[in-house]
Amino acid sequence: MMKAGICSIIWKDRLSLPDVIATAVRVGAQGIEVWGQPPHIPESLDVEGVARIRQELREHGLGAPQYGSYARAGEPPFRAQLVRSLDVTEALGARACRIWAGSADAEVLDGAGWERVQADLRFACEQAEERGLLITLERHSHTVTNRLWGCMRTLEEVRHPALRINFQIQGTAPATIAEEIRLLGPHILNIHAINYEISPAGRSMSPLGRGEVDWAHLVQCLNAAGNDGYVEVEFVNRGSAPLPLKNLEQELAKDIAFLNSVFATLPTP
């Protein structure tokens, strides 16, 4: 069954991780993707410190969908960063470690660059599999998964059962997002969810339940593809100015309530 989660990056340096956990409980989220940057995961934090976060999550009935690492395949520090990231993932009790597939868009990366990225991803999957973990790839600009074909090429060339996609709308026209979900199907583990509206003033962020992207339909498509991961609210922006913390929490609660209302309409497995 799909679950509603949040990304702790929503608060960056505005809230400590214990405060994020308390907020997640108040808004009705079922899990937190922990942001792999200070102050949520300081470089100095050891495995015992991460285990204490895991315990706090469990005491509040929250899961850890994945760890939000910044290890970037194809870059020289990647393999050392990966080991640290997998240590954190394991200590959190998370199912997967989210990493980045290179530093360039799929359409501009040269052949040698593709080979470096794919070799690092194979290494990552092998290391994760030894620990009983999965690797998810962030769909983002300046990575080879920015395009659907880049995702498909990566999945085909790495060809490892531990490799998954962390799905995002990533600049795709709303009319074609459902087709991307159909094609990526079982390779999607978790989803980062945002929405936006377009007006004469331009594009602005909006609640999940109101905007250009029909998340109710997309959740149905994900469910039809067999997805049982988390749909995670990634950011809670409304317009261009940052929301005060009280308003941010209120808006987040609406997004979580919307997701749970959609999940309630899905057929029982």
> Does residue 20 or residue 43 have the better pLDDT?
20
Q: Which residues pair with 195 in a beta bridge?
A: 206
Mean pLDDT of the region 55-81: 97
| The dihedral sign for the CA sequence 14, 230, 223, 269 | negative
> pLDDT over 90 for what percent of the chain?
90
Give whole-number Cα distances, 109 to 152, 160, 171, 204, 251, in Å.
15, 22, 19, 30, 39
Q: Is the pLDDT of residue 13 over 90?
A: no
pLDDT value at position 202? 84
Q: Which two tokens stand for residue 186?
A: 């079982």
Distance CA 134, CA 164 (A): 7
Give backbone dihedrals phi and psi of 33, rounded to 5 degrees, phi first: -85, 115
Report helix, strand or coil for 34.
strand
Would 152 be classed as within a structural domain? yes
Mean pLDDT of the region 237-264: 94
pLDDT value at position 264? 96
Contact between 32 and 5 under an 8 Å Cβ cutoff? The reply is yes
> Residue 146 CB: number of other CB atoms within 10 A?
23
Would 8 be classed as within a structural domain? yes
pLDDT value at position 241? 77
Count of structural domains, the chain: 1
Mean pLDDT of the region 24-43: 96
Q: 174 pLDDT band (50/70/90 cuts)? A: confident
- Closest Cα partner for 167 from 144, 149, 153, 151? 151
- Closest Cα partner for 7 from 69, 93, 59, 75? 69
Would 268 be classed as within a structural domain? no
- Closest Cα partner for 209 from 229, 194, 226, 231? 194
pLDDT value at position 231? 98
pLDDT value at position 68? 98
List pLDDT tens digits, range 181-206. 999 999 999 999 999 998 888 888 99
Which positions ≥6 away from 244 have C-beta within 8 Å?
none
Please give the single-letter amino acid code of residue 79.
Answer: R
Q: Which two tokens stand for residue 109?
A: 């990366």
Mean pLDDT of the region 96-101: 98
Would 269 be classed as within a structural domain? no
Asked which of 28-37, 119-128, 197-206 is least confident by mean pLDDT, the reply is 197-206
Helix (H) or strand (E) holding 138: strand 134-138
pLDDT value at position 43? 87
Cα three-residue angle 257-4-137, rounded to 5 degrees: 140
Mean pLDDT of the region 38-66: 96
Mean pLDDT of the region 76-82: 95
CATH number, domain containing residue 184: 3.20.20.150
List pLDDT tens digits, range 131-171. 999 999 999 999 999 999 999 999 999 999 999 999 999 87
| Structural domain containing residue 228 | 3-263
Would 25 be classed as within a structural domain? yes
pLDDT value at position 201? 82
Q: Is the pLDDT of residue 269 over 70?
A: no
Q: Which two tokens stand for residue 213?
A: 């992207």
